[in-house]
Structure 1
Amino acid sequence: MSDQGVDERAAVRAFRERVGLPALVDVHTHFMPDRVLKKVWAYFDGAGPLVGRVWPIQYRQEEDERIALLRGFGVRAFTSMLYPHKPGMAVWLNAWAADFAARTPDCLRTATLFPEPGVEAYVKEAVAGGARVFKAHVQVGGYDPNDALLDPAWGLLAEAGVPVVTHCGSGPVPGRFTGPGPIRALLARHPRLRLVVAHLGMPEYAEFMTLAEQYGEVRLDTTMAFTDFTEDIAPFRRDSETLARLAALGDRVLLGTDFPNIPYPYVHQLEALERLGLGDDWLRAVCYGNGASLFGVDGEVAAGRGGPEGDVL
């Protein structure tokens, strides 16, 4: 491991020790087929139209090195968030993700979907095969989450209780179907859908917190929220009322980071959460307890199904 990796590992460990965290559960990390990930990185390097600004990728290591970094940070469970931008991709991506999870036991098997003929069938197959979390990217996919083709799949996921991490906020650049409106309509039809709003709904933080207050299965992930990079373009209001609402939702806020596609060190996301001043109990729930409970992580580790041993296992 490089000196940088050792230093970062020590910085994350120091955060965990301050807060009293046994480990981390990160619900928003990206692992993809190599050629797909390299295209994603090239898009960020070129400040593509859905990025809108310079965005230097912090972690460009090979796959095995990135996995080792997460384990070194004390991440007990993570995801392989991947997403199609056109029809015909989801089945192939789901097959890759299933193989990745089979050879990476601390990765929660991840799947995705797209509004296309056959979506209900392959979502059902993924759930039956053990998919534990889905990724929906309304911005990149450019689709309406209320597309009739998706409705049976949403119903299936709601019935199965499988969380769906969904990029539906209008950041960093608005899409045709981003924002709280389409998600409000979706939840009206599927109120039991375990929808995890990625990036805390950036920049419509307040509106998505309202949806979480209205629907008991809606959760929020912290991906890139509160960091210096994001505060420059989509600041989160720090008034007492807004912070009190966030504190009250503490049992349904989940740590997400966007690793490896972040323009700053991993520890900065953790420190950005800490400087909100919501207390160690809130941080322990967000960074570990909520995710561990949602996915049964503690039970798996106790039964010997966790990842390879690291400094926290």
Structure 2
Amino acid sequence: MTVPAPPESDDDVPRFLSELGVPGIVDIHVHFLPERVLRKVWAYFDQAQTHYGTAWPIHYRTPEPERVATLRKLGVQTFAPLVYPHKPGMARWLTEWVTEFATTTADALPTATLYPEPDVADYLGVALAAGARAVKVHVQVGGFDPRDPLLRPAWGLIADAGVPVVVHCGHGPIPGAHTGLDVFGDVLAEHPQLRAVLAHAGMPDFVAALDLVRRYEHVHIDTTMVGTAFSSRFAPLPADWPARLADVADRVVFGSDFPNIPYPYAEQVRAVAEWAAADDRLGDAFLRSALHTAPGRLLAL
């Protein structure tokens, strides 16, 4: 089957999904946060010229109900609302907040987050026992070493639960104190059963990310911001990227970073569609897997 024409706009995404024959997108990398926290995140991106050397206008700067409605209009069937702390004492109440958010938002799955602190195994264990379907770990924003001994029981809990952990551990958009796929590789070596999702496909170290996918049978990459015109300015993909995906195609899962993206959602869908069209070993089967089947399997839908 020929890959459908990529969507030209957000309004065109449902047409694309219909032609592809999937009931909707399963987005493993979406952010919903308490209002006061989200405002601070947006304020940070408003100063992106200082932080990152480029403007980063938030494309979906709308009230929470409107953002949920936007996802539904796009054809997003299910999403993982990810939260993350930047200091101690935040992870517990962020996890409690997002658990409550998921109970009142039919399309959202309960998730959790963590920080290296003495009670991490307590609140994470409660969240996993209550049915958290994913965990978010943001090494760059948190500024912590994922190999911190305080996190050892947490990694064990996640591995034992078999839930995916979406980990921002790459150097993109700028390096952090403890970013680097080699650093997180040490965590995987100690916990090889982790169902780790390398956020942003390890941006900008895409080849190293694929090496970890091949080395560990449960490791995946997500598509978040990968291959878009915006990201390609500072983190271009290898020219043979589609070919590199061919042997690990079932471990590529769709993520968008909605709402904190500086372009329309359709651009991410289009990027993935272009990879599929560029290599005959990918095609529409890869698209259905990346957009729906593979993230759905990870999230136990």
Same fold per TM (> 0.5)? Answer: yes
What does the per-residue CA deviation read over 1:191-233, in whole Å, with 9 as the maximum and x for residues that have no partner?
0001100000000000010000010110110000000001111
Partner of 1:263: 262
Question: 1:35-46 residue pairs with structure 2 within 5 A?
Answer: 35-46=36-47
Partner of 1:294: 298
**Does the aligned pair in 2 maintain the 1:24–1:288 contact within 8 Å?**
yes
Q: Calculate the TM-score normalised by the size of structure 2.
A: 0.93
Aligned residue for 1:283, secondary structure, equals: helix
| Residue 97 in structure 1 maps to residue 101 in structure 2 | no
Partner of 2:116: 115
**Does the aligned pair in 2 maintain the 1:168–1:201 contact within 8 Å?**
yes
CA distance in structure 1 between the aligned counterparts of 2:228 and 2:191, rounded to whole angstroms: 32
Partner of 2:170: 169
Aligned residue for 1:26, secondary structure, equals: strand
CA distance in structure 2 between the aligned counterparts of 1:144 and 1:54, rounded to whole angstroms: 28
Question: 1:190-229 residue pairs with structure 2 within 5 A?
Answer: 190-229=191-230
**Does the aligned pair in 2 maintain the 1:15–1:270 contact within 8 Å?**
no
Cα 1:157–1:296 change in 2 (3 A) is closer
Partner of 1:60: 61
CA distance in structure 1 between the aligned counterparts of 2:157 and 2:145, rounded to whole angstroms: 18
Q: Calculate the TM-score normalised by the size of structure 1.
A: 0.89
What does the per-residue CA deviation read over 1:43-84, in whole Å, with 9 as the maximum and x for residues that have no partner?
000117654421000001110010011011111110211100
| Residue 152 in structure 1 maps to residue 153 in structure 2 | yes
User: How big is the shift at 1:10?
Assistant: 2.7
**Does the aligned pair in 1 maintain the 2:163–2:298 contact within 8 Å?**
no
**Does the aligned pair in 1 maintain the 2:23–2:77 contact within 8 Å?**
no
Partner of 2:286: 282
* Between 74-83 and 148-157, the greater mean CA deviation after superposition: 74-83
* Between 44-53 and 66-75, the greater mean CA deviation after superposition: 44-53
Cα 1:159–1:234 change in 2 (3 A) is same
Cα 1:49–1:246 change in 2 (3 A) is farther
Aligned residue for 1:203, secondary structure, equals: coil
**Does the aligned pair in 2 maintain the 1:168–1:183 contact within 8 Å?**
yes
Aligned residue for 2:272, secondary structure, equals: helix
What does the per-residue CA deviation read over 1:240-296, in whole Å, with 9 as the maximum and x for residues that have no partner?
xx4322122111111000000001100110001111223111111000111122223
Question: 1:21-40 residue pairs with structure 2 within 5 A?
Answer: 21-40=22-41
Aligned residue for 1:136, secondary structure, equals: strand
Question: 1:63-74 residue pairs with structure 2 within 5 A?
Answer: 63-74=64-75
CA distance in structure 2 between the aligned counterparts of 1:194 and 1:293, rounded to whole angstroms: 11
| 1:111 partner letter | A
User: How big is the shift at 1:36?
Assistant: 0.4
**Does the aligned pair in 2 maintain the 1:224–1:269 contact within 8 Å?**
yes
Identity %: 51
Partner of 1:249: 248
Partner of 1:4: none
**Does the aligned pair in 2 maintain the 1:50–1:140 contact within 8 Å?**
no
User: How big is the shift at 1:142?
Assistant: 0.6
Cα 1:129–1:50 change in 2 (3 A) is farther
Cα 1:166–1:252 change in 2 (3 A) is same
Cα 1:50–1:251 change in 2 (3 A) is farther
User: How big is the shift at 1:9?
Assistant: 4.7
Question: 1:122-137 residue pairs with structure 2 within 5 A?
Answer: 122-137=123-138
Moved over 6 A (4+): none
| Residue 143 in structure 1 maps to residue 144 in structure 2 | yes
CA distance in structure 1 between the aligned counterparts of 2:162 and 2:111, rounded to whole angstroms: 14
| 1:40 partner letter | V
- Computed over aligned residues only, the root mean square deviation of the Cα atoms, in angstroms, reads 1.4
CA distance in structure 1 between the aligned counterparts of 2:207 and 2:128, rounded to whole angstroms: 32
Cα 1:115–1:200 change in 2 (3 A) is same
CA distance in structure 1 between the aligned counterparts of 2:131 and 2:101, rounded to whole angstroms: 13
CA distance in structure 2 between the aligned counterparts of 1:50 and 1:285, rounded to whole angstroms: 35
CA distance in structure 2 between the aligned counterparts of 1:208 and 1:262, rounded to whole angstroms: 22
Aligned residue for 2:31, secondary structure, equals: coil
